[in-house]
Amino acid sequence: MTPQDPLVSTAWLRDHLDSPDVRIVDASWFMPGTPRDPKEEFLQAHIPGAVFFDIDEIADETSDLPHMLPSAIKFASRVRKMGLGDGSRIVVYDSLGILPAARVWWHFRAMGHEDVAVLDGGLPKWIAEGHPTEDGPALPQERHFTPRIQADIIRSLEQMKTIVATGREQILDARPAGRFTGEVPEPRAGLRGGHMPGAHNIPLSALLAPDGTMLPADKLAAVFEAAGVDISKPVVSTCGSGITASVVALALARLGRPRSAVYDGSWTEWGGLADTAVVTGPAT
């Protein structure tokens, strides 16, 4: 785990599995309607010592939007009980490779905990390489966690309206191209198709290698350049519900831009309103 790279390899985690300051978090999550239960899968097999982070429960219960960032009090209360505290070197993984793990990485950073990384390739790569797993519930010892909200990497609806109006930040949408253009319907009912005016599009698949790991920095830089994104200038990422957007933020951190922001409500919020500006077709 280095300040330069927000991802760690399976080899790194294998070598640090028993380090007293390393804490491992399973952030597995699936789209609604997927016939898989991440909690049950965790009980069947997880990386030794891992605890389960429930994205849908450790969320803002006052919002109608899915898995919105919770209050600092709620977040701290939950992660303390999971044994995740000040001084922990947190490694987050998921059972898809790199997806909800990036969201939880962003959660911790939004709460001021910088010593957090994502396991590159996640549980699939870990298992494919023959590394150990264990079953059963986690039994962590409670630790103290001090939240410090980092507003600079969080964007709200009102902030996004200003960004669309002024162009002061580049908007990067991580949804698949068909959903971005409006040619493919959204998986969540009631949402308009299309994208925010001025947004660029980099689908999640463009950031990942065939084995599910994230592309190296030089190839990532080429992807952003091809999409018309100047990573030396401010970027805010968005997607369907703020999960894939966090993968964009992770990629930007790998490129040395760790303070890039995520629009928490993403298209579930923006596309579900009647008075937000929406355009269709390719990025212009």
Catalytic residue set: 239
Question: Distance between CA atoms of 263 and 19, rounded to whole angstroms?
Answer: 34
Looking at residue 17, the DSSP 8-state letter turns out to be: T
Question: Distance between CA atoms of 23 and 32, rounded to whole angstroms?
Answer: 28
Kindly state the tokens that stand for 29.
């999550």
Question: Distance between CA atoms of 28 and 214, rounded to whole angstroms?
Answer: 17
Helix or strand holding residue 64 (H, E) = none
Is residue 153 within 8 Å of 106, Cβ to Cβ? yes
209-246 exposure pattern, b = at least 16 Cβ within 10 A, e = fewer: eeebbbbeeeebbebbeebebebeeebbbbbbbbbbbb
Kindly state the tokens that stand for 226.
């091809």
Q: Which of 231, 225, 250 is nearest to 239 (CA)?
A: 250
